[in-house]
Structure 1
Amino acid sequence: MKLRLDKWLALNFDPPPAIRNAHLWIKAGKIYPPPVKVGRHYYVDPGAEYVDYSYTVDRKATRRLSLVERLNLEEESRQRARQAAIDQLPARKRGKK
């Protein structure tokens, strides 16, 4: 079950940062796995972590993924999720007897 962003911040930080900072972190990809926006609110996995790679990675040694690479990663992720959902179905519903 996911937590609202403000509750996740309160659980993981003391004192919790401003919600506007957390929105910037989400846009920058610093919360992993990424939160899901439903309506006006973001919902975060309870086990999500704040990760700031700027302190741990040499920026010159890394490069940004191209659009094609990002699309390929997204498609692979969708296929894995689809396959996981199919694997959870009972054998009858998958078309096997």
Structure 2
Amino acid sequence: MAKFLTLEEWSDATYESNKPSIQTLWRWARDGYIYPAPEKHGRQYRVQPTAIYINPKDVRLGKKIKDAQSSSPARSAFMEKVINDAAKHKV
């Protein structure tokens, strides 16, 4: 199961400077500007660590979503291969 972050934690991990305010993050969550969409757990929104900011009116939205979906499994598969190959050679 995926680990979920609060919007504040996601913002800290995503933005190094000029972080959006909590009100802006709530608006983005409500209006669909974060993909995959945050889930509301109780009174807080929770988001996947790999979530990205999107503009629903952007004409390249499909490409951004496709890139976000395809790169994550590829990265994790690559890292798994690197870790497993490195472990085999450490005898």
Kindly tell me the number of residue pairs found equivalent between the two proteins.
57
* Pick aligned residue for 1:4 from 6, 9, 21: 6
Q: Which residue of 2 aligns with 1:47?
A: 50
Q: Which residue of 1 aligns with 2:66?
A: none
Q: Which residue of 2 aligns with 1:30?
A: 33
Stretches of 4+ aligned residues off by more than 3 angstroms: none
Percent identity over the alignment is 35
TM-score (normalizing by structure 1):
0.53
Higher Rg of the two aligned structures = 1
TM-score (normalizing by structure 2):
0.57
Q: Secondary structure at the match of 1:27?
A: helix
| Structure 1, unpaired ranges of 5+ | 59-97
Q: Secondary structure at the match of 1:37?
A: strand
Would the aligned equivalents of 2:29 and 2:45 in 1 still touch at CA under 8 Å? no
CA deviation after TM superposition for structure 1 residue 39, in Å: 1.4
Amino acid across the alignment from 2:11:
L
Would the aligned equivalents of 2:32 and 2:56 in 1 still touch at CA under 8 Å? no
Q: Which residue of 2 aligns with 1:20?
A: 23
| Structure 2, unpaired ranges of 5+ | 61-91
Cα deviation 1:19-67 (Å, max 9, x = unaligned) = 111111111111000111111111110000000133x329xxxxxxxxx
Between Structure 1 and Structure 2, which shows a larger proportion of helix residues? 2
Cα deviation 1:54-82 (Å, max 9, x = unaligned) = 3x329xxxxxxxxxxxxxxxxxxxxxxxx
CA RMSD after TM alignment: 1.6
